Amino acid sequence: MHNLVYLLLRRMRLPLIIVILAYAISILGMVLIPGIDDQGNPWRMDFFHAFYFVSFLGSTIGFGEIPYPFTDAQRLWTMVAIYTTVIAWLFAIGSLFSLFSDPAFRRILSYTLFTRAVRGIREPFYLVCGLDDAGHLLVHELAGHCIRTVVIDNRESRVQALKLDDLPVYVPALCADAADAATLSAAGVNSRHCRGVIALTDSDPVNLTIAITSKLLSPELQVICRSESHDSEANMASFGTEHIINPFDTFARRFALMLKSPSMFLVYEWLTSIRDAPLREFAAPPKGTWVICGYGRFGKAIQKALSFEGIHTVLIESDIEKTAAPEGVIVGRGTEAITLYEADIENADGIIAGTDDDSNNLSIIITAVGLNKNLFTVGRQNRGSNEAIFNAARLDVIMQPGAIISQRIVALLTTPLLTDFLRLARQQGDSWANILVSRVIGVLTDRPPDSWTISVDAEQAPAMLEMIGKGNDVTIGMLCTDPRDLTATLPCVPLYLQRTADEILLPGNDCVLQPGDRVLFCGRQGARTYMRWTMNNFNALNFISTGEDRPSGYLWRWLAERHASR
C-alpha cells in the first residue's frame, strides 16, 4: 500500500505546485491592485477577501464582485486569475485521472489488492500457478468443491477471463511471473492456511522453479507439478515434489489399461471424472495393429505402453531427425491419404492422431476413417477451446492433456482414498471390474458418479460414535440406507474401507464400522447429503438401526418409557 501512496504523491508533485503558485499569484494580485469602495474612497482588498474571491473563482462558482464592484484594473487581473486558476485545476485533476488509468499504477493497485485478498483468506487454500486449460479446469472444479484457490498467471487476458467467470468462491488472481519468489510470497506460500502449490504452467523449467522455490520457502507444503519431460520429472522428484503429473504418460497408462481391461478403464474414468462431464460409455479398443501419427512426447509414451501390452504399432512422423524416430517409421504427416496407405491403414484396427496441432489431428482422423470405416479413433486435443469440433468429429477416445491433469489433481486433493482404491483395484481381474461396473451403473443416471470419503470421527460422525459408544453396531449397510425410507437404499456403492492396520476392498453391507475408519463411496450426485444426515443425526441413525422413531424431547421420551414399562 505504501508503494501506491508514494507513487500518487510523487506524480502529483508538479500539478500541486502549479495550483499553489496560481493561487498565490492571483491572491497577491487582487491584494495589490487598488479598488474603490461604495463611498468612492480608495480601497484595497485584504488577503482574507482575496482568498475568498480566488477560491470561488478558481472552482468556477463565481459569486460576483465582492464586497464592492471592481475597477477596470481589478477586472483585468480577474481575467488573468480566471484562466490561470482554472487551467491549473484542470491540469491537476487531469493528472490525477491519467495516473489512475496509468498501466503501472493499475498494476501496483491490482498487486496490492491481490496481496490483501490473499492475506484475508482464513481457510485452507491452494496456490495454482498457470491458467491454461489444466489450471482453468482445476480452479473451476475446486471451486465447485468449495475449495479456495489463489491463481497466478503471466498472461493478463487469462486472468481477466477468470475474473469474468462466475465462480461460487472468490478466487484472487494476479498477472505476474510465477517463477519469481516475491510473487509466490505475495500469493501466500508462507501463509499458514496454504495447503499446497500446484505448478501447471506450460513450461517445465518454470514449473521446476516454482516447485523448488515453494519447497525452500515452506518445506512442509505439498507441491504438485505438471511435467512433460522425464528429465525435469526426475529433477522435480529429487527435492521431494509430492506429485508429478505427466499428461502423456498418464494417458498412455490409461490407454494401455483400456486395452487390457475396458471395464477397469471405465471405473478409473468414472471415479476421476469431472462433475459436469457426460457419462463415458463402455468402449473396447481392438487389439490388432495400431497406426500412431506423431512420434513426439505423446507418441513415444503411447508407443511404449502399447508395445508393453504386445500390440503391433506402425509409426508415422514427419520430422525424423528431431524426434529420433526408430527405423521403419513412415515419413509424412498422416494428413494425406498416401502416407496412410503406406501405413496399411486399410488393414489396421485403430489410429491415434497424436501431433501437437489440433487441425492436423482432426484431418488425420477424418482422412483415415474415409479409408477404413471400422477404425477405432483416438485423437489428441491440445487446446480446450477446440472441444466442440472434437466432439463433432465423433472420436472414440479424446485425449486432452488439460483435462487429464486437472482430473488427477482434483482426485488427489478431494478424495485421497481414491488413489489407494485404484492401486488395489488394478490387481483385480477383468471379471471383478465387470461386476463393479454393473453395480455402479445400477445407481447412476446419465451423469458420472460422485465419489466421497467419510471418516468415523467426532467431527464428521458424532451420531455414529454415540451409537458405537452405547455398544451397538453400525454397519455400512446402515449408512447406505435412505434415512427417509427404511426400505430404500441410497444410490451409492461402498468401494474401499481403510483402518489403521487393515484395508477392505468393496466392503459388504454387514461390515461393522469402528471409530477411526475411513470409507470411500461412489454414487449418484446428492446421495452423500443423506449419508451425512445419518452420520450426524442420532435420531436418524437410531431410526435406521431399530426401525423406531425415537422421541427426541425429554417429555415424549419419558412418556414413551412409561408406555413401554406398562
Nearer to another protein by C-beta: 58 or 350? Answer: 58
Exactly one of 12, 329, 465, 504 binds another protein (CB under 8 A); that residue is 12
Part of the chain binding another protein (CB under 8 A), chosen from 25-33, 183-191, 440-448, 476-484? 25-33
Grid coordinates standing for 382?
491440445
- Whether the CB-CB separation of 72 and 41 falls below 8 Å is answered with no
Nearer to another protein by C-beta: 46 or 231? Answer: 46
Nearer to another protein by C-beta: 96 or 337? Answer: 96
Strand partners, 199: 129, 225
Q: Is 134 exposed, middle or buried (0-12, 13-18, 19+ CB in 10 A)?
A: buried
Exactly one of 1, 4, 20, 438 binds another protein (CB under 8 A); that residue is 20
Q: Least separation, in Å, of the C-beta of 20 and another protein?
A: 5
> Residue written as cell 477404425?
375
Q: Least separation, in Å, of the C-beta of 395 and another protein?
A: 60
DSSP code of 329? P
Nearer to another protein by C-beta: 31 or 274? Answer: 31
Q: Least separation, in Å, of the C-beta of 17 and another protein?
A: 5
Nearer to another protein by C-beta: 7 or 86? Answer: 7
Q: Hey, which residues between 379 and 408 contact another protein (CB under 8 A)?
A: none
For the chain, how many helices (H) and strands (E)?
25, 18
Contact between 106 and another protein per CB under 8 A: no
Nearer to another protein by C-beta: 16 or 366? Answer: 16
> Residue written as cell 474612497?
41
Part of the chain binding another protein (CB under 8 A), chosen from 23-31, 154-162, 501-509, 538-546? 23-31
- Whether the CB-CB separation of 248 and 228 falls below 8 Å is answered with yes
Nearer to another protein by C-beta: 31 or 169? Answer: 31
Contact between 11 and another protein per CB under 8 A: yes
Phi/psi of residue 139, each to 5°?
A: -60, -40
DSSP string of 455-495? E-STTT-HHHHHHHHTT---BHHHHTB-TT-TT-B-SEEEE
Buried b (16+ CB within 10 A) or exposed e, 41-55: eeeebeeebbebbbe
Phi/psi of residue 521, each to 5°?
A: -115, 155
Strand partners, 37: none
Part of the chain binding another protein (CB under 8 A), chosen from 3-11, 188-196, 202-210, 450-458? 3-11
Strand partners, 245: 226
What three-state secondary structure class fits 46?
coil
Strand partners, 173: 151
Count of chain residues binding another protein (CB under 8 A): 20
DSSP string of 401-459? HHHHHHHHHHHHHH-THHHHHHHHHHTS-HHHHHHHHHHHHHH--SSPPEEEEEE-STT
Nearer to another protein by C-beta: 21 or 486? Answer: 21
Exactly one of 13, 75, 119, 163 binds another protein (CB under 8 A); that residue is 13
- Whether the CB-CB separation of 194 and 220 falls below 8 Å is answered with no
Alpha-carbon distance values, 119 to 40, 130, 144, 194 (Å): 70, 20, 22, 11
Exactly one of 28, 82, 99, 274 binds another protein (CB under 8 A); that residue is 28
Exactly one of 16, 104, 234, 366 binds another protein (CB under 8 A); that residue is 16
Nearer to another protein by C-beta: 58 or 354? Answer: 58
Nearer to another protein by C-beta: 95 or 414? Answer: 95
Contact between 27 and another protein per CB under 8 A: yes
Exactly one of 1, 10, 67, 170 binds another protein (CB under 8 A); that residue is 10
Q: Least separation, in Å, of the C-beta of 13 and another protein?
A: 5
Part of the chain binding another protein (CB under 8 A), chosen from 4-12, 283-291, 326-334, 377-385? 4-12
Q: Hey, which residues between 40 and 99 contact another protein (CB under 8 A)?
A: 46-48
Rounded CA-CA distance 389/15 in Å is 56
Nearer to another protein by C-beta: 6 or 63? Answer: 6
Part of the chain binding another protein (CB under 8 A), chosen from 26-34, 122-130, 193-201, 550-558? 26-34
Contact set with another protein (CB under 8 A):
6-13, 16-17, 20-21, 23-24, 27-28, 31, 46-48
